[in-house]
Amino acid sequence: MKNRILIACMLLAGFSVMAQERESAPSLTFEKKSERLSEATGWIQLLDGSWVGNKNMLYPAKSGKMESHSDQNFYWLQTGTVTNNGKKYYVLFYEYLTGAYKYPEIKEDWSEWHEQGCLVFTPEEFEVLKDAVAKKTGKPVGVTTKFRETNLPTGDSYTDEKTMKNISSVLLRGPREGGSKWGIAVNAQNSKGEDIVRFRMPEYINDADIYFKSYFEVKMDDFKKLLIE
């Protein structure tokens, strides 16, 4: 009798699974795209108080090439707008260099590769970013979202199709639970008569204590190219 009940339950569970609809990733296209931001100076302060600057990465020594050991680097950043289920979203997407040891215990055989990341903002969240830049308060502002992903594959080359596939998978999965703590921090200000934006690449943000001991710096007009309508 027990065996019959068990078999019946298994059959009902199987029918329940088969009855569920398979949900496909949304088919998206960019409605608008910004120009790329492809150059900024990364500044990092050393223990002795001196500063080291490198193109497009935060690294504690002068280097003439991209260092995959740096977890703050980029080749480019770009924004675009998409509509999913009648809702508009602003997407910040970017390509960076990363790597890992084959034998992490002894830190040997390092390999590196390109990956893509993205933050997907609601219009209200993106407005916070635009407002932080416009006001030039000289204070760090963290703009966070629950729609985000890093470690997205790009393959050997970047294409819009790969980017849209990545963004579609993020929206299909839905918001990450546990609070909106992943985002981008910016500090817009006037320094020595020039409007600039200091920022960090997307990362976990502690809203109560955003301290820029290292950052990227770019002219405000260049950063504003990302702030599309």
Instruction: Give the tens place of pLDDT for each residue, 6-49.
Output: 444 444 444 344 445 555 555 788 899 999 999 999 999 999 99
Share of the chain above pLDDT 70, in %: 82
Q: What is the pLDDT of residue 206?
A: 75
Work out the pLDDT band at 180, boundaries 50, 70, 90. low
Distance CA 122, CA 204 (A): 18
Give domain status of residue 147, yes or no.
yes
Q: Which range marks the domain in which residue 99 is found?
A: 28-224
Q: In the numeric block, which tokens belong to residue 48?
A: 């002795």
The sign of the torsion formed by the CA atoms of 85, 87, 92, 98 equals negative
The verdict on residue 11 lying in a domain is: no
pLDDT at 108 exceeding the cut of 90: yes
The pLDDT score that the predictor gives to residue 23 is: 57
The Cα 129–Cα 87 span in angstroms is 19
Is the whole-model pTM more than 0.95? no
For residue 2, tell me if it sits in a domain. Answer: no
Structure tokens at 184: 């981008």
What kind and span of H or E run contains 132?
Answer: helix 123-135
Measured CA to CA, the distance from residue 135 to residue 128 in angstroms comes to: 11
Q: Is residue 213 part of a domain?
A: yes
Q: For residues 216 and 147, which has the higher predicted lDDT (pLDDT)?
A: 216
Q: pLDDT class for 172, splitting at 50, 70, 90?
A: confident
Q: Does residue 173 lie in a domain region?
A: yes
229 within domain boundaries: no
Domain tally, the chain: 1
Look up residue 180 and give its DSSP letter: S
Specify the pLDDT at position 63: 95
Give domain status of residue 9, yes or no. no
Which of 81, 58, 204, 222 has its CA nearest to residue 142?
Answer: 204
Q: How confident is the model over 60-93, as pLDDT tens digits? A: 999 989 999 999 999 999 999 999 889 999 999 9
Q: Considering the domain boundaries, does residue 5 fall inside one? A: no
60-66 contacts at long range (C-beta below 8 A, 24 or more positions apart): 66/97
